[in-house]
């Protein structure tokens, strides 16, 4: 059960103390308090953990500082969608809005290699009015002999260039807790020239200790990828680890599943699960067509499979696209064969726009039919 308190309820107020005193006296129930500082008001949610079945909504909704009560199912307590749950499905980070009804494109380098390539990418993004990108500094690689990313050495120039070209959010995978501090320090040294969305890669989806550490900080939002060989439920529980530790600025990423059934693509594209995740949870949903498809294969109609898969995710309501581009794919140190070319950026963005407009029209159409059927 979640008690959503009246905005700006102070912990030292008599109303709050009265409520907590009553909750403390409930046998077999403990509480966990989550506080969110918004621009205009503070919001407090009190989670009741334990056997709350015997507790009725009326028992707790009568307290003056309780605004609403939500009875949650066992699964995904914080991030899940529950009955009569009108908690928000969006957040803002560094001036960019993320939600279940927004769309942001993160086109960029899978792995940072040279300063020149980073600058070419950022410049192209600005020319195409983009404020988000992806830049890999810490790369989890299958082979220990493969390029592991430049790590903290590249952060100062990546962040400086992001500031120069108006990039507000960079998605960046971390694989170890020490990377968090390295990113924090580099951002500070560049005068917070940009913002970072931490990425938990598919190989670390169930690295619970990393999830707890990333969940305990609220400076950066987190993109967590679905584990490539586990169930959707297991991956959603992994996302819940982040939120249960305090960070709710979480985006869930679909990136394809590891199975030979998906051949000749690198992974089996799972973007039909976009609406499923939006129904089960309040998280915005990201699609990664590059790591799903993994090739620049093109069909006779002139469309790359990566663009087809992107459209499939967007038409299903995806909220974020994470996609590999590179100014010179043959020179890329990671995943060159799946990178789109700089000159393909305007086409890619226009295609996304087209499909997004169609998705919005489909939502309006569904709404119209729903209204008609309730009138009849
Ligand atoms: C990536 O986005 O660079 C990446 C390694 O993705 P994934 O974790 O989905 O393999
Ligand atoms: Mn990659």
pLDDT digits (tens, 9 = 90+) for 44-57: 999 998 888 888 88
Range(s) within the chain of domains with CATH label 3.30.70: 2-71
**Distance from the alpha carbon of residue 108 to the mean position of ligand 2, in angstroms:** 11
Pocket of ligand 1 (CB under 6 A): 110, 136, 173, 201-202, 225, 255, 288, 291
Neighbouring residues of 101: CB distance < 8 A, sequence distance ≥ 6: 89, 90, 319
**Distance from the alpha carbon of residue 217 to the mean position of ligand 2, in angstroms:** 26
Q: Is the pLDDT of residue 39 over 80?
A: no
Q: Is the pLDDT of residue 72 over 90?
A: no
pTM of the predicted protein model: 0.93
Taking the CA of 134 as reference, the closest ligand is 1
**3-class SS at 159?**
helix
Range(s) within the chain of domains with CATH label 3.20.20.70: 92-365
Q: Which of 348, 339, 266 is nearest to 307 (CA)?
A: 348
Distance CA 249, CA 214 (A): 11
Contact at 8 Å (CB) between 194 and 164? no
According to DSSP, the residues that pair with 108 across neighbouring strands are 324
Dump pLDDT digits (tens) for 291-333: 999 999 999 999 999 999 999 999 999 999 999 999 999 999 9
Distance CA 280, CA 282 (A): 7
pLDDT of residue 56: 86
As a CATH number, domain 2-71 is: 3.30.70
**3-class SS at 14?**
helix
pLDDT of residue 65: 96
pLDDT of residue 41: 86
pLDDT of residue 123: 98
Indicate the pLDDT class of residue 35, thresholds 50, 70 and 90.
Answer: confident
Give me the helix-helix angle, 345-375 and 305-315, nearest 10°. Answer: 30
Q: Pairing mode, if any, of strands 2-5 and 42-50?
A: antiparallel
Dump pLDDT digits (tens) for 126-147: 999 999 999 999 999 999 999 9
Q: Whose CA is nearest to atom 6 of ligand 1?
A: 201
**Distance from the alpha carbon of residue 333 to the mean position of ligand 2, in angstroms:** 10
Q: Is the dihedral of CA 161, 166, 168, 171 positive or negative?
A: negative
Indicate the pLDDT class of residue 58, thresholds 50, 70 and 90.
Answer: confident
Tokens of residue 248, six digits? 């709710």
Q: Whose CA is nearest to atom 8 of ligand 1?
A: 201
Question: Which among 258, 286, 291 is the best mutation to test ligand 1's pocket, defined by most ligand atoms within 8 Å of the CB?
Answer: 291
**Distance from the alpha carbon of residue 110 to the mean position of ligand 2, in angstroms:** 5
Indicate the pLDDT class of residue 124, thresholds 50, 70 and 90.
Answer: very high
pLDDT of residue 208: 98
**Distance from the alpha carbon of residue 291 to the mean position of ligand 1, in angstroms:** 6
Query: What is the second-level CATH architecture of the domain 92-365?
Result: Alpha-Beta Barrel (3.20)
CA atoms within 13 A on the CB side of 225: 26
Question: Which atom of ligand 1 is found nearest the CA of 171?
Answer: 2
Task: Return contacts of 204-211, CB within 8 angstroms, 24+ apart.
Answer: 204/140, 204/175, 205/230, 205/234, 205/235, 205/238, 206/230, 206/234, 206/238, 208/238, 208/241, 210/174, 210/175, 210/176, 210/177, 211/238, 211/241, 211/242, 211/245
Q: Which of 281, 283, 248 is nearest to 99 (CA)?
A: 283
């Amino acid at each position: 059960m979640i008690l959503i308190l009246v905005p700006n309820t102070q912990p030292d107020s008599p109303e709050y103390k009265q409520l907590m005193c009553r909750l403390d006296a409930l046998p077999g129930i403990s509480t966990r308090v989550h506080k969110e500082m918004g621009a205009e008001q503070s919001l407090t949610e009190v989670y009741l953990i334990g056997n709350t079945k015997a507790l009725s909504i009326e028992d707790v909704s009568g307290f003056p500082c309780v605004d609403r009560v939500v009875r949650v199912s066992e699964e995904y307590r914080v991030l899940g969608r529950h009955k009569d749950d009108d908690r928000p499905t969006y957040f803002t980070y560094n001036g960019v809005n993320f939600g279940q009804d927004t769309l942001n494109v993160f086109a960029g380098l899978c792995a940072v290699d040279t300063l020149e390539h980073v600058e070419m990418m950022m410049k192209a993004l600005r020319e195409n009015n983009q404020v988000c990108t992806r830049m890999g500094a810490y790369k989890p690689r299958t082979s220990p002999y493969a390029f592991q990313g430049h790590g903290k050495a590249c952060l100062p120039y990546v962040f400086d260039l992001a500031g120069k070209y108006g990039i507000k959010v960079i998605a960046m995978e971390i694989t170890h807790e020490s990377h968090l501090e390295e990113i924090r320090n580099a951002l500070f040294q560049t005068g917070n020239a940009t913002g970072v969305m931490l990425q938990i890669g598919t190989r670390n989806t169930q690295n619970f200790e990393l999830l707890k550490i990333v969940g305990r900080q609220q400076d950066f939002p987190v993109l967590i990828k679905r584990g490539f060989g586990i169930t959707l439920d297991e991956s959603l529980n992994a996302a819940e680890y982040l939120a249960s530790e305090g960070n709710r600025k979480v985006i869930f990423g679909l990136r394809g599943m590891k199975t030979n059934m998906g051949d000749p693509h690198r992974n089996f594209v799972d973007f039909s699960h976009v609406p499923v995740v939006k129904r089960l949870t309040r998280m915005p949903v990201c699609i990664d067509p590059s790591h799903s498809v993994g090739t620049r294969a093109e069909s006779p109609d002139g469309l790359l499979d990566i663009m087809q898969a992107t459209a499939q995710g967007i038409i299903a309501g995806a909220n974020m696209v994470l996609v590999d581009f590179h100014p010179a794919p043959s020179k890329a140190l990671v995943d060159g064969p799946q990178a789109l070319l700089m000159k393909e950026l305007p086409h890619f963005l226009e295609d996304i726009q087209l499909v997004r407009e169609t998705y919005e029209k489909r939502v309006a159409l569904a709404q119209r039919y729903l209204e008609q059927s309730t009138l009849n």
